[in-house]
Homo-oligomer: A and B are copies of this chain.
């Protein structure tokens, strides 16, 4: 039994908490990101599409403390590097809709990280179809957040938008692509991915 260090706080993926307490000591222990968690996505736009979010529920980046801001983006950098490696990608889209008028649907800061590779969206219309898909994806985040926070804090849920409030009445000049065709995954799929990614984070250097 190894002593637990402060530096081995868990990374959450989705509603599935994989704590270092469940694991043996590892050369690269889980990162010290006490203020941040990561979520797998109910309807990923592309494989490895994850969200990184502060634990404290605030709507805007400016509401974060400097420590939370640093922790969030150090986690974005590290989780991004991990998903890029795991999903064989070569680039990342990183996007924050910071407020309802920027398209935010859930009033809890969240950074989208989407692994990209050459020609990955040719079937959907090209490289920039990502943005239409990203927009559609916002509508599905409410449930993911609710699950994550419910698990983290017993059975408490946070106040989240219903996923369409901020979007209602919004006019989009883009035809709807295949958002509706993207099927929500089942719990088992999400749990399996979350656990795989949590293990992969152990192989990811801290810096």
Contacts and interface: CB of A to CB of B under 8 A. Distances in A.
B101 A94 contact: no
A113 to B, nearest CB: 9
A117 interface: yes
A101 B73 contact: no
| SS class, residues of chain A in contact with chain B | mixed
A64 B90 CA distance: 16
Contacts of A134: 131
Interface residues of A, number: 55
B207 A66 contact: yes
A125 B173 contact: yes
B61 A94 contact: yes
A159 interface: no
Nearest to A111: B94
Contacts of A21: none
Interface stretch (A4-12, A74-82, A195-203): A74-82
Contacts of A96: 92-95
